[in-house]
Amino acid sequence: MSRLTETCLRLENQKRPQLFTHWHEQENRCERISGAAFFEQVNRMASALQKKYPAQSRILLLFEPGLGFPLAFWACLKAGMVAVPTYPPADPRTRQRFLEIAKDAQASAVLTSEKILKKFQWIRYLLSSLRRMKWHALEELCQEAIIELAPAKETDLALLQYTSGSTASPRGVMLSHANVYANASALAAPWKLMPAIQEHFVSWLPLYHDMGLMCGVIFPLYTGAASTLFSPLYFLQKPRRWLQVLSETQGTISAAPNFAYELCLKKITPDQLEGLDLSNWRVTLNGAEAIQAETLQAFSERFSTVGFKSNCFYNAYGLAETTVFVAGGKPLSEPRIHRFSSQALSQNRIVPDPEGRALVGLGQVWEDTQLQIVNPDSLTTCAENEIGEIWLQGSSVGMGYWHKTEQTEATFSAQLADHPEQGKWLRTGDLGFVYQGDLFITGRIKELIILQGQNHSPPLIEKAVQTASDAFRKGCGAAFSTGEAPERLILVQEIKKDCSLSHAELEKIAKKALAESEGLRLDILYPIEAGSLPKTSSGKIQRNQVKQLYLKGKLKAWKK
C-alpha cells in the first residue's frame, strides 16, 4: 500500500474546513474547498478512472490555474494511475512543449476541465496520439459513483515529471509513490527543527513543475497544512499580489526562484507596502535557479518594514530527477554566504577570499540522501578543496527517464571509479563543492565556458553586463563561446524597448563592464528584441538553443 496516499489523504486532512483555496483579487472569483468535499471528489474521480482504465495507465493533466489540478492529481494517485502534469497550450512556445510531452508519454487519456475541453478541441488534431486519447472533463468524472478502490503500491509509478529542458528536450522522470513519499519526508525533516504551528502554504508556482507540485499540492497535505494557490501570470502581472496573499491569509510558508524576489524589488514601490503584514511569513524557499546573495540582502532590507525577517529565507537545491528536493539548511537560520577567490573557482579550486565572489550556501542533504563531489572526467571523488560534479543516492532518486534507456543508464547508473562498491549514483550535471557543511553550486557542465584553460559560469558573465546599464534586461541574456584556438566569447542579450543607445554604445558598455568585473574580453554583444530569448516553461534560459539559433542566424536582432 502507498504510504504517500495513506499519509496525504488521511482522515485528519478530510476534516479540515478549508483545505485548498484558489485566490483572486475579486472575492467572488475565489475558489475554496473543504477537506470533506475535496476527498469526496477525489474518490469519485478515482473510481471513474479505475472503471475506465487499467492500473498504471498514464493520464495527462491539462488544467489552467485553479483547484482542478490538485483534484485530478490526487485522483490519479488514489486510482493507481500515472499522472503526467502539463498545461494548456496557449501560445506557440508552450504548445510545442505540450506536444512533445503528449507524444513522449503516450497517455491513455487527458483529464481537463469543461472550459479547456471546449477551448482546445482543435489541439487533438495536431498529433495522432492526441486523437487516440480519451478526453475527460473533471466535472463529468465527479458525478461517478464511488467504488471500493484497489490501492496503489509503493513501487507503482506516481507520475512522469518532465524536466524543464534547459539543456535538452523535456524528459519524463519516472517517480514512484515511494520516491515522492521519501522526498516529502526529506523536505519535512528540517521543519521538525522549528516550533510546531498550524502552517499555511501560499504558492503561485506552476503546478505542472516539480517545485510548484511539491510546495502547492503534495507537501501541504503531507504536513496537514492549508494551501492557497494562485496563477503564475497573476503574480508576474503584479508581484505585490504574492505579498498581499501572504498578508491576507497570514501565510507562513511560500517558495519561489530567485527572479521572483528580484521582481518584487523592481516592481513594488514604497507606497505599495502600505497595508502589508508579513510577520507570519516564517519560511520562504528559494531554489530552482542560481541564488544571488545581494537579492537576499536587498529583499530582507526592503520588506523588513512590513514584518519580513532575514532568517525567513530557506535556500535550497533540487532537481526533477530526485523528485525535487535535495539539500537545504536549518530553517529560521540566517543565510550562509561565503566569498571565494574568482581565480581559484575558474580553476576548479576553493580558496576563501574576503574580497572574492559571494556564493550562497544551500545547506545539507537530509534523511537517506547521500552526496558526493566527483571529478566528471576521471569519475573519482574530489579532494575537499576541489569543485566537481554533484552525484546523489537515496530513496528520492527517480527510476529513470521514460522510454530513454541509454540516457537513464548514463544519468542514473553512474559508478565511482575509486569506490565501485558504493553502487549506482545519479549524475546531476551540476558543478559544486561542500564547504563548512554547506553545498555550493558553481554552474552546469554542459553550459560551462572554457577560455584559456579556465572555467567561467555563464550567469556571472551575463550578470556583470546586465548590471552595467538599465538598457540590458536582467535575467534575459545568454553567454557562450564559439570557435577554436582562440574561442570567442559571445553574449546574446535582450534590450529594453525604450533604449536610446546605439549598438556600438551598448557593446562598449558591455565590454568595459565584463573586463572590470571578471577580467574577460567580450568579443561580440548580439542584442535581440525584448521577450525573444528562448527559455523553458519554468523560465530557465536555454543557452544551448540560443547558441544554435545564433550560429544559424535565426535570432530576432534588436533594432534601435
Q: How many domains does the structure of the chain reveal?
A: 3
Where a domain ends, among 411, 430, 446? 446
Lookup result for grid cell 527510476:
399
Same domain? 436 vs 452: no
Same domain? 344 vs 425: yes
Whether residue 510 has pLDDT greater than 80: yes
Whether residue 459 has pLDDT greater than 90: no
Mean pLDDT of 266-283: 95
Look up the domain containing 401 and give its range.
316-446
Domain-located, residue 283: no
pLDDT, greater one: 410 or 459: 410
Same domain? 461 vs 351: no
pLDDT digits (tens, 9 = 90+) for 306-344: 999 999 999 999 999 999 999 999 999 999 999 999 889
Q: What is the pLDDT of residue 203?
A: 96
- Alpha carbons within 13 angstroms on the beta-carbon side of residue 376 total 19
Domain-located, residue 222: yes
Q: Is the pTM of this model over 0.85?
A: yes
Same domain? 423 vs 453: no
N- to C-terminal Cα separation, the chain? 63
Whether residue 484 has pLDDT greater than 90: no
Whether residue 477 has pLDDT greater than 60: yes
Measure the CA–CA gap between 63 and 113, rounded to whole angstroms: 7
Mean pLDDT of 67-71: 96
Residue 382 belongs to domain with CATH number: 2.30.38.10
Domain-located, residue 334: yes
Domain-located, residue 152: yes
Domain-located, residue 436: yes
Residue 456 belongs to domain with CATH number: 3.30.300.30
Amino acid, res. 399 = M
Same domain? 132 vs 250: yes
Whether residue 527 has pLDDT greater than 60: yes
Q: What is the pLDDT of residue 165?
A: 58
The sign of the dihedral angle between the CA atoms of 351, 354, 359, 364 is positive
Same domain? 193 vs 50: yes
Q: What is the pLDDT of residue 389?
A: 97
Where a domain ends, among 255, 280, 303? 255
Domain-located, residue 149: yes
Where a domain ends, among 395, 423, 446? 446
For residue 465, give every residue at least 6 positions away whose Cβ sits within 8 Å of its Cβ, in sequence order, or none.
Answer: 472, 477, 491, 493, 509, 510, 513, 514, 522, 525
Q: Per-residue confidence at 92, pLDDT binned at 50, 70, 90?
A: low
Same domain? 59 vs 158: yes
Q: Which residues of 406-422 are buried (b: 16+ CB within 10 A; e: fewer)?
A: eebeebbebebeeeeee
Mean pLDDT of 392-417: 96
Domain-located, residue 302: no
Same domain? 421 vs 484: no
What is the C-alpha R_g of the chain? 24
Lookup result for grid cell 496516499:
5
Same domain? 439 vs 454: no
Residue 170 belongs to domain with CATH number: 3.40.50.12780
Is residue 62 within 8 Å of 111, Cβ to Cβ? yes
> Strands 157-162 and 134-137, how do they pair?
unpaired
Q: What is the pLDDT of residue 129?
A: 67
pLDDT digits (tens, 9 = 90+) for 176-193: 999 999 999 999 999 888
Domain-located, residue 193: yes
Mean pLDDT of 275-281: 96
Same domain? 340 vs 485: no
Same domain? 85 vs 229: yes
Same domain? 441 vs 453: no
